[in-house]
A and B are shown apart, each in its own frame.
Chain A
């Protein structure tokens, strides 16, 4: 008999997951969420000096004159000032409010919502065999169970990539038709361990690479939950709760510096990259290392559970 190839398992997993109506529903929800920033941008009051350096200069003046801003001296304020100063010093125009670049920048704030959809998908991929009872028939086949885990994990990552790509395509296409596609050549100035300036496409690519690191960590956590509890709904609920509330809970215990090594302190890259760090010394690299370690440990425990635990 031929050696069973991992690629066959992957194709099987992809077909099992992507051929269901459930995925279609999740992708429709993704599209609806992706359109939201367009409507928010569309309903924003547009100043007369929109998209000019004058708007940046006046923003700097407002921040400098505002007593609350100057006395607070918080990170967010400092980063905002740095971004404005960079734009003025380097003559970089801010994106117009009604533009693709504005929508794309706004879309990144919505990533946690897409993460919920990714968590739901991952929960289904790992727990469906248990809830439907097909796990017995599946695991009685001559398969190496670590390969099954890998196939399911890659399927979950493919679903996450699909969600991200669909959200981007929808937001770019819809906003492009509404505001014009010329915004794709804009530059976006943002804060990421220092002020950075990138083209829209590079900005999108960088953001989504960081988002994918969060996806890697959270997917392995949800996979472990689904295999441990043998229930996708529980795993999804717990995964979503931890993702949303994890950083807030950790923040309440911020005096315990050891908590910076916990996965949930490191998965919300949007916050970390904007400059709000939960613990001193946290950097992108630090978070990437912590997420990777958690991902490996969670995956190992999941495979051990697959291998060692009784089924049925």
Chain B
């Protein structure tokens, strides 16, 4: 995997009115990765995307894409991106082809290229139909067509699964992976659908109250965790600390990463010291972090 950083955000801060929406956020995304952006409603996901797109004015911090700094050359910076927002991306009264022509004219794409892209995404038979007659799934295919046409280094999608049927979601997921492999481009996808992101992404970033609170690397981390509850959590923590085993705490529970060897060691220590294990639960790490965020 190429570890070149294509998107760098440092100490980003944004306030709207008196409320600080993004607090000194820092983020670095590597090339050709598919990154999921997860967080509860109001966490700042869409605000972060809009700030990256230059739609909202940041108060502080640096943003750069493929080495181009936002403040130095905003136009060059934006050329590195293709943004797809959850709301209207298309002109409903225009045809599928004309919507892509709108993009094509700006970026100097030929009519032939546009025709090929439309065929590629399977909209060849709807080329002259108004986008107003398109389903969510078809709109998403049009979004894919835009990405294929633009061939931007970084593609940012805000809630792309919204309203798309399961078949459409599968097609969308396959398309994203294929585009990433073929064009070597990066995707940043914000969504609430954890299961979809888990299948699609290389890494998931958790955002809450305008800050990045956690991240899970799905390539190296299976993403699952064991949760142990004992009759005496205080004593259990003390025993494990003294034994220098790898674990973490969540209120009264012991969290152990998906590592059977480590789990066996922890169980052995607790049992040998007569600690009663009340419950062991295997839990998806992404869901756990997300539930913790909502719980907060």
Residues of A at under 8 Å CB distance from B?
1-2, 4, 8-9, 11-12, 15-16, 19-21, 132-134, 136-137, 139-144, 308, 310-312
Contact = CB atoms under 8 A, between A and B. Distances in A.
B202 to A, nearest CB: 24
B266 to A, nearest CB: 48
Given A8-B105, A137-B84, A140-B78, 15 more contacts: A1-B107, A4-B107, A8-B106, A15-B102, A19-B94, A20-B93, A134-B88, A134-B89, A137-B83, A139-B54, A308-B57, A311-B55, A311-B56, A312-B46, A312-B50
Interface of B: 16, 46, 50, 53-57, 74-79, 81, 83-85, 87-94, 98, 101-103, 105-108
B102 A136 contact: no
Nearest to B53: A140
B81 A2 contact: no
B105 to A, nearest CB: 4
Nearest to A9: B106
Nearest to A134: B88
Contact of A141 (B57, B87, B106): B106
A132 B102 contact: no
Contact of B75 (A2, A19, A21, A142): A142
A312 B16 CA distance: 12
B79 A137 contact: no
B88 A139 contact: no
A1 B57 contact: no
A142 B76 contact: yes
Contacts of A311: 50, 55-56
7 contacts: A133-B88, A134-B88, A137-B88, A141-B106, A142-B78, A144-B75, A312-B50
Contact of A136 (B79, B87, B98, B101): B87
A284 to B, nearest CB: 40
A118 B196 CA distance: 49
B102 A312 contact: no
A172 to B, nearest CB: 32
B105 A132 contact: no
B106 A310 contact: no
A15 B94 contact: yes
Residue with the greatest number of chain B CB neighbours at <10 A, chosen from A1, A9, A16, A136: A136
A144 to B, nearest CB: 7
Nearest to B87: A133
Main secondary structure of the interface of A (DSSP, over half): loop
A142 B56 CA distance: 15
A16 B91 contact: yes
A143 B75 CA distance: 7
State the 8 A-B residue pairs at the shortest beta-carbon distance, nearest first: A140-B53, A142-B78, A133-B88, A8-B105, A140-B83, A2-B108, A311-B55, A142-B79
B75 A137 contact: no
A237 B88 CA distance: 26
Contacts of A308: 57
Given A142-B76, A142-B79, A136 B105 contact: no
B106 A312 contact: no
A250 to B, nearest CB: 38
B55 to A, nearest CB: 4
B54 to A, nearest CB: 7
A20 B92 CA distance: 10
A12 B83 contact: no
A140 B54 contact: yes
A243 B30 CA distance: 56
Given A20-B93, A311-B50, A312-B50, A12 B57 contact: no
Contacts of A16: 91, 94, 102
A225 B102 CA distance: 26
A12 B106 contact: yes
Given A12-B105, A312-B56, A1 B79 contact: yes
A137 B105 contact: no
Contacts of A141: 78, 103, 106
A20 B132 CA distance: 12
A136 B83 CA distance: 9
Contacts of A15: 94, 98, 101-102
A19 B98 contact: yes
A4 B98 contact: no
A134 B50 CA distance: 13
A12 B94 CA distance: 11
A132 B88 contact: yes
Contacts of B16: 310
A138 to B, nearest CB: 9
Contacts of B101: 15
A15 B104 CA distance: 14
A232 B98 CA distance: 24
A125 B237 CA distance: 66
B106 A132 contact: no
A136 B75 contact: no
